[in-house]
C-alpha cells in the first residue's frame, strides 16, 4: 500500500501505498558515492527484522526471470543480482555489530548511491505510514454504520489508448465509459450499485477515510474474527490532500499539520466532515486478505515494520537494500536520530520524485501515532550489489 510528501506534511496529506501510473521521470535520481565518502552506516533496529524484510523481498525476485533488468538511474541490475544483494546485506548485518565494520563489509560488496533529493542537494522528506486496526461489525448497527466496501460490480478497467500499461477506470453508461463516482457521491449519495460487497462496518467515518489513505488495515469484529482489508482498486480519481486544504484555508498551520491535527479539527467541527473528506475525490475499494503477516507492498511482499519504505517506483523499480538517515519520533514525544538499513517495498499515489520516502511503522494506534508525527528531512542511500559479486545460492 502504501506508501506519502511536501515540507511540513506527511502521508495523510499526500497519500501512501496503493497504485501508481507508469510515467517517465526526467533527470537522474541518484548520484554515486565514492568509497571514501561513505557515511557512517549504523543500524538502530534488531538484525532479525532486516533479515525478514530481505528474505521476503529476495523470494519475490527469485520468482522472476533471473536476467530481468531493473534500472535505477544510470545503473542496472538483474533480478538475480538484486536477490543476491539482499541476501548478502542480510548476512553482513547479522554478523556485524560495529559501525565501522558494517560500513567496511558493505562497501566491499555494494556500490552506494545517494538520492539527489528534492532540490538536488540530497535532502529527502521522510514521512510515515501504518496499518490501521479498526473495530468492526458484520452488519450495520449504531454506531457501526460506515461500510468498508469491496469492489463494485460496475467498476471496470480498460486499456488506455494513450500508452502501454495505462488504464482508464470508470463504468459504462449506455455503452459509454464514464468516470466512476467520486467520494462525495459514494459516501454521501447513491454512488454505488445496490448489493456492493461490504467487508465490515466501522463506527468512525474519519478513521475509515484514513484507512483509504493508508491503503490497508485490519478489521477486528466483536466475535473475535479478524479480516485484513487490502487495497483492491480505486475509483480512478486523482488524490487530493485534505491536509493541504486545511493549511490553505488557514485553519491548521503547516507547522502543526499531522493526521492527529486533522482528526482533532474534524472532531471539533463535525459540520465540516462531509465537505473536507469530499475534497479528496479518490475512493479505495478493498479485498479480504489473510490476517497472517503484514500488509502487502507494491511487489506483493509483506511489509516489515520499521524496515519497509515506500518510494517512487518509477525511480526505484524493484526491492533493494537502502540506508536511511534523519530523525524519527519516539514514544516519549521526543525526536531521536534515525540511522537504519531499510528495504524498498512499496510506493504511493503521491510519493513522487527522488525527494520522498515513506517509512512503514507497523499496525495499530501506537504505530499510527508515530507515523503521524514523522515529517523530517533526511538522506536516502541505495545499496546496489557490485557487478562482480559471486552468486549466492537461493535460500531454501
DSSP one-letter string for 352-366: -STTEEEEEEEESHH
Grouping H, G, I as helix, E, B as strand and the rest as coil, residue 124 is: strand
At 94 the pLDDT is 92
- Supply the pTM of this predicted model: 0.79
pLDDT tier at 21 (50, 70, 90 boundaries)? very low
Contacts of 51 (CB under 8 A, 6+ apart): 90, 93, 94
State the DSSP string of 219-267.
EEETTS-EEEEEEEEE-SPPP--HHHHHHHTTSS-GGG-SHHHHHHHHH
Confidence check: pLDDT of 296 > 90: no
Nearest to residue 322, comparing CAs of 37, 86, 122? 86
Going along the chain, which residue ranges are E strands?
30-33, 69-72, 75-78, 110-115, 124-131, 133-137, 146-149, 156-159, 167-173, 176-179, 198-202, 216-221, 226-234, 284-289, 308-310, 321-329, 335-346, 356-363, 375-385
Q: Which residue has the cell 546485506?
A: 89
Pairwise pLDDT comparison (268 vs 352), residue with the higher score = 268
- Residues 127, 220: Cα–Cα separation, whole Å: 27
pLDDT tier at 27 (50, 70, 90 boundaries)? low
- Residues 377, 11: Cα–Cα separation, whole Å: 14
Four-CA torsion 169, 173, 179, 181, nearest 10 degrees = -110
Same CATH fold assignment for domains 11-130+295-385 and 132-289: no
pLDDT, average across residues 281-299:
85
- Which CATH homologous superfamily contains domain 11-130+295-385? RlpA-like domain (2.40.40.10)
Confidence check: pLDDT of 121 > 60: yes
Residue 389 in contact with residue 86, Cβ under 8 Å? no
At 393 the pLDDT is 55
At 25 the pLDDT is 45
CATH of domain 132-289: 2.40.240.50
Q: Average pLDDT, whole number, for the chain?
A: 88
At 163 the pLDDT is 58
Q: Which residues pair with 340 in a beta bridge?
A: 324
At 11 the pLDDT is 37
pLDDT tens track for 340-370 = 999 999 997 768 899 999 999 998 889 988 9
pLDDT tier at 265 (50, 70, 90 boundaries)? very high
pLDDT, average across residues 47-69:
96
Q: What is the residue extent of each domain of the chain?
A: 11-130+295-385, 132-289
At 394 the pLDDT is 53
Amino acid at each position: 500500500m502504501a506508501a506519502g510528501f511536501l515540507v511540513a506534511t506527511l502521508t495523510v496529506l499526500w497519500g501512501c501505498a496503493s497504485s501508481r501510473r507508469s510515467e517517465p521521470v526526467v533527470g537522474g535520481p541518484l548520484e554515486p558515492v565514492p568509497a571514501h565518502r561513505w557515511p557512517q552506516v549504523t543500524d538502530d533496529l534488531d538484525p532479525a527484522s532486516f533479515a525478514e524484510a530481505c528474505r521476503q523481498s529476495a523470494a519475490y525476485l527469485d520468482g522472476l526471470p533471473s536476467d530481468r533488468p531493473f534500472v535505477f538511474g544510470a545503473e542496472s541490475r538483474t533480478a538475480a543480482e538484486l536477490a543476491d544483494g539482499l541476501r548478502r546485506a542480510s548476512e553482513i548485518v547479522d554478523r556485524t555489530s560495529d559501525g565501522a565494520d558494517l560500513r567496511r563489509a558493505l562497501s566491499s560488496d555494494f556500490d552506494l548511491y545517494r538520492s539527489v533529493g528534492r532540490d538536488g542537494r540530497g535532502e529527502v522528506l521522510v514521512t510515515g505510514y501504518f496499518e490501521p486496526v479498526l473495530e468492526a461489525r458484520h452488519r450495520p448497527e449504531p454506531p457501526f454504520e460506515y461500510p468498508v466496501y469491496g469492489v463494485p460490480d460496475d467498476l471496470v478497467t480498460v486499456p488506455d489508448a494513450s500508452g502501454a500499461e495505462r488504464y482508464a477506470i470508470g463504468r459504462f453508461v449506455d455503452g459509454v465509459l464514464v468516470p466512476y463516482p467520486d467520494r462525495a457521491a459514494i459516501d454521501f449519495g447513491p454512488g454505488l450499485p445496490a448489493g456492493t460487497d461490504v467487508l465490515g462496518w466501522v463506527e468512525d467515518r474519519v478513521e475509515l477515510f484514513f484507512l483509504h489513505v493508508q491503503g490497508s488495515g485490519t478489521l477486528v469484529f466483536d466475535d473475535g474474527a479478524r479480516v485484513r482489508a487490502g487495497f483492491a482498486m480505486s475509483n480512478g480519481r486523482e488524490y487530493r490532500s485534505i491536509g493541504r486544504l486545511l493549511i490553505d484555508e488557514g485553519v491548521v498551520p503547516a507547522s502543526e499539520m499531522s493526521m492527529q491535527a486533522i482528526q482533532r479539527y474534524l472532531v471539533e467541527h463535525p459540520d465540516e466532515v462531509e465537505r473536507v473528506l469530499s475534497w479528496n475525490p479518490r475512493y479505495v475499494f478493498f479485498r479480504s486478505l489473510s490476517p497472517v503477516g503484514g500488509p502487502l507492498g507494491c511487489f506483493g511482499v509483506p511489509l516489515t515494520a520499521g524496515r519497509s519504505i515506500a518510494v517512487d517506483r518509477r525511480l526505484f523499480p524493484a526491492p533493494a537494500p537502502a540506508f536511511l538517515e534523519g530523525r524519527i519520533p519516539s514514544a516519549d514525544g521526543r525526536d531521536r536520530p534515525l540511522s537504519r538499513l531499510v528495504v524498498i517495498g512499496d510506493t504511493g499515489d503521491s510519493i513522487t520524485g527522488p525527494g520522498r520516502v515513506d517509512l512503514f511503522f507497523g499496525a495499530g494506534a501506537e504505530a499510527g501515532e508515530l507515523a503521524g508525527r514523522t515529517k523530517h528531512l533526511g538522506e536516502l542511500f541505495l545499496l546496489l550489489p557490485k557487478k562482480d559479486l559471486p552468486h549466492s545460492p537461493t535460500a531454501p
